[in-house]
Amino acid sequence: MFWKTFITTTLSIRFARYARTSPTGGDVTNRTRLLKSMIMNLKERSYATKVFVSPCSWASTPLESRDLRPNSAIMDNLDVDGNTQDLLVYIKSVSHVCLVVIDFAGLTTRSEDIIKLVKTNPSLKKIAVEIFAQCNESVWEIRKIKQRIKNKNKEI
């Protein structure tokens, strides 16, 4: 219900979904299965039209450093629009974007990555965090994040 209401109130915004798996030593078949499950959840629960994945990156790896070498062994078996690098290009190519991720660590565990993403992408208007175990999805308004960054910089 949340997503239907959210999407109908933000029709001018394009949605980019992002999923990531960690390089935990699992085989390609298992990693592909996990990503397919995440992709299916993003498409079904958040009405995804564009989906991007990082098939093998740590949550602490800076976004701009992920997927510099394509992983075709996994990517060729997924129905997605690209990897992290393709996501970053997409965000810059459209005027209003909401980035939807699974859980907070699905995007990054580094606050400086969020700050850099917001500062370098004026088209990014919202970041929505899908928490499947709970009903209260979280949507971060970029203008509020920018205000917090501004206030924090004044304190320094």
Residue ranges of the domains in the chain? 2-155
Burial of 99 (0-12, 13-18, 19+ CB in 10 A): buried
pLDDT, residue 8, reads: 45
pLDDT, residue 70, reads: 81
pLDDT, residue 141, reads: 62
pLDDT, one tens digit per residue, over 6-17 is 444 545 678 888
What the block records as the tokens of 113 is 């990555």
pLDDT, residue 67, reads: 93
Beta bridge partners of 130: 102
Q: Has domain 2-155 been given CATH number 3.40.50? A: yes
pLDDT, average across residues 36-53:
82
Q: Is pTM, for the whole model, over 0.85?
A: no
Beta strands in the chain (DSSP E): 14-20, 50-54, 97-102, 124-130, 138-141
